[in-house]
Structure formats: C-alpha cells, structure tokens
Amino acid sequence: MAKTKLKVGVVGGTGYTGVELLRLLARHPEVELHAVTSREQAGRPVADLFQNLRGCVELKFTPPEPATLAECDAVFFASPNGTAMTMARELLDAGVRVIDLAADFRLKDPEEWRHWYRMEHACPELLAEAVYGLPEINRAALRGARLVANPGCYPTAVQLGFMPLLEAGLIDRGRLIADAKSGVSGAGRKAEVGMLYAEAAENFKAYGVAGHRHWPEIRQGLAAMNPMNSAIGLTFVPHLVPMIRGIHATLYAELLAEHDVDLQSLYEKRYAQEPFVDVMPAGSLPETRSVKGANLCRIALYRPLGQRIVVILSVIDNLVKGAAGQALQNFNIMHGFEEGLGLDEIALLP
C-alpha cells in the first residue's frame, strides 16, 4: 500500500512568497497539495496565474474556508500580516499544524506587536506557544511544534550573521549595526509606485531608517542568543536595490578588549552541522546571486587591519531561506522528515 502523504494548504497563494512555496511543495515527496487560497482568484487554475507551475500544480484557487483548511495536516500562511492570527486557533483546535510566513507570531509581546503593526493581536494567548522558526537555534523546539512563526528575511540574514559572536560573548552587545540591502521582491507582489521599474531601476535608497518592523524581531532574536542577559543595542538600516531577489547584510560588531580569537574557526565550528549555512573561506566575498533560488545563507567575515571591529557579510535569497524555503525546512523538522527534503536546489547562475 502506498504511503499516505500529508495534506497541505497554502493561504495566500498569489504573492511572490506564495508561488515560491508552491514551487517547493510541488516537488516534496511527502506532500499532497490540498488547497491554495485566494479570494480574488477563486476558481482560477493556479497554473493559469503562474505558468511555471504548469504540469506541477493542478489545483484551482479557492476561498480560505476554515472547513477546507481543517482537512489539512499543515497549513502555511503566505498572507499579509494579521491574517494567520484570525484563523490559527480554529485550525490548531482541529489538529492542523500552522506555519505563518508573516509576522503574526514573531513578537512575544502583544503590546510591541500593536505598536509596530498598528493592530490588536487576535490571539495573544498563542504567542507563548509559537516557536520562532530559525532552525539553527530552535531546532529542538521545532520538533513536534504545532505553531511556528517563520522569521522575516532581514532577521534571518542578520541573526545568522551575528549568532556565533553573541553566543560566545565576544562582542559589545550594545553597539551592533546591521546595514542591509534587499531586492524589490521583498516588498511583495503588489502595485506600488516605488516598485515600478522606472522608479526602482538604476536607483539605490534607504528606507525605514527611523524604525522598521523587523527591528524588534531582530533585537528579540539576538537577545535570546545572549548568554550575558544584557540589553541588545541595534542600529538597523534597510535599503532597496534594483534587483529582484536577494538580501546582503553587512554587519558590524566591536570585539571586547579581552578577546582575541580565531573568528573564522569560531564560525566554521558553529555552523559545521548546519545544512543551510555556508561559512566561506577567509577572504571570500559572498554574492546574492550565489544563493538565488537556494535555501542557503552564505557568510564571510573580516577583521579589517586587525582592529576590534568585526565585519560579517551575510547573503540569502529573501524568498527562499528568507521565507518559503525556511518555512519548508521548519515543516520538515516539525514532521520528523529529513531537514533538507525538497530543498536540494542549487543556486541559479547567472
């Protein structure tokens, strides 16, 4: 008798994160796509909207009906902020596991959520249960989890870059700087003047300098890595660059005076058993195109002129390791599958 596959639903299947998730799920050997939802596109074949899925996804979009989603073993929310929290309790009560790719369950403090996302949290009682889905630090908690908060794209690149230094207590935790650049797909699949070709091409700009929603998420994650239990001081400045995919985070930290360690060895040992973090040889300069389409974070580090400032370069594909790929990685861990199942894509070049 053939082994039964897990029924999976995707809420919000019309955005860039949604179609990336469908691309990965369609090839997962343990998954049967059961529902892909969209109110606007309901009744339309998924492959009509996304031709890359022709022959791979035969479903039509359906409205996000709780009864249909409750038939699933797991539901991914690739939907706008504020959607998953209105449906999570009902799905969990029905025995469905939930992975939210938006921000509904990332912040543990409902007041902080309200401040940054300008809405009341619909189910604050679930925040304590939600597991933050950065496998490199929360793998044990992800095993058997019912509710997972998939990290944001910037937070993934930044946290993986700083993690070994923070865990070892080697840096001044009050003076961290993250200077990060993202391609335009990070803003989502929507009509917006700033995302028009004539606006974004041949241009480079910062945004969210006064305060970005990913700042509290990054700060919360870094604090959890901090053995000294002292406050995290973080300056985070995101930028928009004229490319479609990719995040490049250039991170700065100051070594404490009493520490003089082999940083290359520190990073190599910390990530030696991590299948989706690649610590590159000393002197490397990781490129965003080296991770395009792959569930990888590539990291290189420098100590310019032997000074106390450490520079970490961290690159990911914002739609894969920064979103859909990491969500599938979490799904695999939650269900006891091999962690890289369905995630063996090699990056695309050029």
Whether residues 213 and 102 fall in one domain: no
CA distance 188 to 207: 15
Judge whether 73 lies within some domain: yes
| Cβ-proximal residues to 73 (8 Å cutoff; 6+ apart), any chain | 6, 7, 8, 96, 97
Q: Which domain holds residue 69?
A: 6-129
Summarize pLDDT for 280-327 with one digit per residue, the tens. 999 999 999 999 999 999 999 999 988 899 999 999 999 999 999 999
- What share of the chain has pLDDT > 70, as a percent? 99
Judge whether 32 lies within some domain: yes
DSSP 8-state symbol, 338: -
Report the pLDDT value the prediction gives residue 94, as an integer from 0 to 100.
98
- The tokens describing 215, both together, are 């700042």
Judge whether 346 lies within some domain: no
Task: Label residue 226 by pLDDT band (50, 70, 90).
Answer: confident
CB-count burial class (<10 Å; 0-12, 13-18, 19+) for 193: exposed
Which residue among the candidates 56, 72, 123, 153 is catalytic per the annotation? 153
Radius of gyration of the chain (CA): 20
Task: Label residue 199 by pLDDT band (50, 70, 90).
Answer: confident
CA distance 307 to 305: 5
| Cβ-proximal residues to 248 (8 Å cutoff; 6+ apart), any chain | 157, 180, 181, 286, 288, 313, 314, 315
Whether residues 103 and 208 fall in one domain: no
Q: Is 184 helix (H, G, I), strand (E, B) or coil?
A: helix
Average predicted confidence (pLDDT) for the chain: 94
Whether residues 41 and 171 fall in one domain: no
Judge whether 1 lies within some domain: no
* Residue 23 clears pLDDT 90, i.e. is over it: yes
- The residue-averaged pLDDT of 182-209 equals 84
Report the pLDDT value the prediction gives residue 229, as an integer from 0 to 100.
66
Whether residues 71 and 162 fall in one domain: no
153 in active site: yes
Q: What's the CATH code of the domain at 310? A: 3.30.360.10
| Cβ-proximal residues to 60 (8 Å cutoff; 6+ apart), any chain | 36, 42, 43, 44, 45, 46
Report the pLDDT value the prediction gives residue 350, as an integer from 0 to 100.
87
Whether residues 87 and 199 fall in one domain: no
Summarize pLDDT for 134-152 with one digit per residue, the tens. 999 999 999 999 999 999 9
Whether residues 163 and 301 fall in one domain: yes
Summarize pLDDT for 148-181 with one digit per residue, the tens. 999 999 999 999 999 999 999 999 999 999 999 9
Select from 92, 101, 87 the least CA-distant residue to 18: 101
| Count of structural domains within the chain | 2
Judge whether 302 lies within some domain: yes
Q: What's the CATH code of the domain at 90? A: 3.40.50.720
